Amino acid sequence: MQLIKDLKWRYATKKFDATKKVSDENIATLKEAIQLAASSWGLQLYKILDIRNPEIRQQLRPHSWDQSQITDASHLFVFCSHTSVSDQDTDDYIAKKAKLQGVSVEDLKGYADFMKMKINEKSQDEIIPWTEKQTYIALGNALIACAEMKIDSTPMEGFDAGKYNEILGLTDKGLTASVVLAVGYRHSEDSTQDHPKIRKSIDTLFETYE
């Protein structure tokens, strides 16, 4: 199966070739793959920043364990999750759903009210990890899409979210940096590209209940 071959090909690239850039066409495909990711209730309570400004990326690098991928990768994406969820988020989703499905908003009122009730039951301490989880689902789509297009990628949690929020002005937008994705092409000197994948066996990873 080609998907399995692609996933075996990918690895978390440690050193990117800064001279190689991902085409606009491939980036557009990558963004569409992220857009199509599953999310809880379909609300997509996140925003992805495409950081192309080299000066901003230089500012972010010291707050990313000084990892070279931040500045050397072709593209850098910061996945940001919502820090709060309002009824308006649900209303906006319902309006789109009604339009695309050819029904009235009133027809979906019961569903909308149920969504709002369940979301409003969550405390603030529950909201942030919930929205953050959604960004990781989108990240998964991105990693698979990159592998299929033979674009190297590195998901990164090694960064100071508070500093990212400050530099990118996220707090005032009701967002917080959750995870970072560097994409581009591996450098020939990146020795980790030849390392075997270290994974648990299928039998160890899965347990079947019959």
pLDDT at 150 over 90: yes
Amino acid at 38: A
Q: What is the pLDDT of residues 1-33, one digit of tens each?
A: 899 999 999 999 999 999 999 999 999 999 999
Residue 34's pLDDT band, with cuts at 50, 70 and 90, is very high
Question: In this predicted structure, what is the pLDDT of residue 1?
Answer: 87
Q: Around 197, how many Cα atoms within 13 Å sit in the side-chain half-sphere?
A: 12
Mean pLDDT, residues 81-90: 98
pLDDT at 112 over 90: yes
Options 3.40.50.970, 3.40.50.720, 3.40.109.10, 3.10.129.10; which CATH number does 2-84+127-205 get?
3.40.109.10
Q: What is the mean pLDDT of the chain?
A: 98
pTM of the model: 0.96
Q: What is the pLDDT of residues 166-184, one digit of tens each?
A: 999 999 999 999 999 999 9
In order, the DSSP letters of 104-140 are: -TGGGHHHHHHHHHHHHTS-HHHHHHHHHHHHHHHHH
Residue 164's pLDDT band, with cuts at 50, 70 and 90, is very high
**In the chain, what are the domain boundaries?**
2-84+127-205, 86-121
